[in-house]
Structure 1
Amino acid sequence: MATTTSADGTRIAYHEVGEGPAVVIVNGAMSVAADGAGLASALAESGFRAVTWDRRARGDSGDARGSIPEREAEDLGAVIEATGGDAAVLGHSSGAVLALFAASLGVPVSALFLSEPPLRFGVGEPAEDLPERLQALVDEGRSDEAIVTFQLEGIELPREMVDGIRASELFATLVPLAQSTVYDATLVRNVSTPTAGMLSVEQPVTVLRGEQTFPLLIRAADRLAAEIPHAELVVVPESVMHRPDPDATARVVAERLA
């Protein structure tokens, strides 16, 4: 593990594996750098230096409370700077939203690979006050309730699935990430309809999705690819139900960065 410092002084932890051009992986909600290890390994085997990192309020990274999406964009910029100054970026889920948003703000990204970004384009948005309610739960010491609320309202998992997760051993690993759900909810609320800058980025853009995934994500990926003039939509059959297949995803990246 190595660390870098973001613009607001937040410590950001990152890991590198492999040799070659850098590809920075941006994970989605309720995940840490280790969750990208399989994808990083597949990229390394394809000739890249894969970088995974703990987004703020996760894992070994720090946090400046009250952070806004622009701070997370700066975090990505700090990781890119620490690992060579220029990189392709592969973002999954809310990480794809962050990657596109950061590129629109001028973070030095050479190419964008956006896997199933949960963009709603103004349709069926979560309650406007969700981030504030999540923050209140965290501040009250009810991090477990923040996780459940985010799962139910932020990503709209079925109640029976959420109850199953809460009863499993997995839940204990999610509770320490409660503060990060505030940031994910804020990010998606602010740019669930992409800004003009996000739709006019100059970098090559590849939007990825599975054939079998949630209908919201199919609509989002297809529409985003259609609204960015030069974007390419790639359907990855091996990626199922919002889980990017490491080998198939690495193959898409390698073919376009060759």
Structure 2
Amino acid sequence: MTAATLTGTVVSADGTAIAYDRHGSGPAVVLVHGAFTGRGHPTMGGVAAGLAPWFSVYDYDRRGRGGSGDTSPYAVRREIEDLAAVIGAAGGRAMVFGGSSGGALALEAAARLPAVTKLAVWEPPYHVTADAPAVPHDFAARLDGLVRQGRRGDAIELFMVAAAQVPGEVVAAMRATPSWAESEALAHTLAYEAAVMGPGNALPAALLAGLAQPTLVMNGDASPPWMAAAGQAVAARVPRAVHRVLEGQTHAVAAGALVPELLEFFVAG
């Protein structure tokens, strides 16, 4: 039997409407997306479907995406307020799972929101070793500037090459695909991702050390070594963290690999 899916909207502290889908019933779990993805993305959609028999899973569009609104100027605290509003709609307390830069946002939020009762993250891309990408300290400003100039495709290319280590020739080929227009529609949110990660994607060691929630940090054994190092560094600094390595997984992790780990972690007392 397929778990019921309900669509709703909640208003964040600054008046921005945030759209979400709720899957299933039970204790609340909120999913926080990373770059280029939103509500209904196959990975998070698969996670929602896999957890729905036991949980109420809230898959929401971060501001500036899909069915959610946006309000200028952007600030990371507003995204934290958005998550707080979704948790409010979920009953006031929730477990949270964030992927990639969404994982970094979830970590930032957990430090400020006691309503987050447990936290799981997938490969937050902090830079802790010399082999990590060299992201400029003004990365967010550069991305925002390109979008303001109408150069959305160039903003995407800069993000992919500098932050995701995608070869330039691969990005050039991607520009010719039908999905490129969908990526361009989200180009303005790439500056948001850079702001969430902070200058140089530096590890927020003091923030992590102050987290009180039980935390699961996950990496794939087929991801770049610098991402593995980032996961290990996060787990080492969060007082109640455990670190798991998922066999055969890259940064583009499969939902089927995540669901058993999340289910075990969220069910545990």
TM-score of the pair, normalised by structure 2: 0.90
For 1:199-210, what aligned pairs fall within 5 Å after superposition?
199-210=209-220
For 1:42-57, what aligned pairs fall within 5 Å after superposition?
42-45=50-53, 47-57=54-64
Give deviations 1:137-191, integer Å, cap 9, x for gaps.
1112221211111111232322122222222222111111011101001111256
Report the alpha carbon displacement of residue 23 of structure 1 after superposing the two structures with TM.
0.9
Q: Which moved more, 1:52-61 or 1:36-45?
A: 36-45
- Alignment partner of 1:28 is 2:34: yes
Letter in 2 for 1:225: A
Q: Secondary structure at the match of 1:235?
A: strand
| Contact 1:97/1:188 (<8 A) preserved | yes
Q: How many residues align?
A: 256
| Aligned position for 1:172 | 181
| C-alpha separation in 1, matches of 2:239 and 2:123 | 18
| C-alpha separation in 2, matches of 1:118 and 1:160 | 23
| Aligned position for 2:3 | none
Q: Secondary structure at the match of 1:61?
A: coil
| Aligned position for 2:266 | 257
| C-alpha separation in 2, matches of 1:13 and 1:116 | 25
Letter in 1 for 2:237: E
Indicate how the Cα distance of structure 1 residues 244 and 122 shifts in structure 2: closer, same or farther if over 3 A, else same: closer
Indicate how the Cα distance of structure 1 residues 193 and 141 shifts in structure 2: closer, same or farther if over 3 A, else same: same
TM-score of the pair, normalised by structure 1: 0.93
Letter in 1 for 2:236: A
**Which of 11, 16, 28 is residue 10 of structure 1 equivalent to?**
16
Indicate how the Cα distance of structure 1 residues 195 and 74 shifts in structure 2: closer, same or farther if over 3 A, else same: farther
Q: Show structure 2 runs of 5+ residues with no match.
A: 1-6
| Aligned position for 1:226 | 236
Report the alpha carbon displacement of residue 125 of structure 1 after superposing the two structures with TM.
4.3
Q: Secondary structure at the match of 2:262?
A: helix
Report the alpha carbon displacement of residue 107 of structure 1 after superposing the two structures with TM.
5.0
Q: Secondary structure at the match of 1:34?
A: coil
| C-alpha separation in 2, matches of 1:120 and 1:166 | 28
- Alignment partner of 1:198 is 2:208: yes
CA RMSD of aligned residues (A): 1.6
Report the alpha carbon displacement of residue 257 of structure 1 after superposing the two structures with TM.
2.4
| C-alpha separation in 2, matches of 1:245 and 1:204 | 23
| Contact 2:13/2:85 (<8 A) preserved | yes
**Which of 152, 156, 161 is residue 170 of structure 2 equivalent to?**
161
| Aligned position for 1:40 | 48
Q: Which moved more, 1:215-224 or 1:187-196?
A: 187-196
Q: Secondary structure at the match of 2:19?
A: strand
Letter in 1 for 2:33: N
Give deviations 1:189-224, integer Å, cap 9, x for gaps.
256321413322110000011111122211111111
| Contact 1:77/1:107 (<8 A) preserved | no
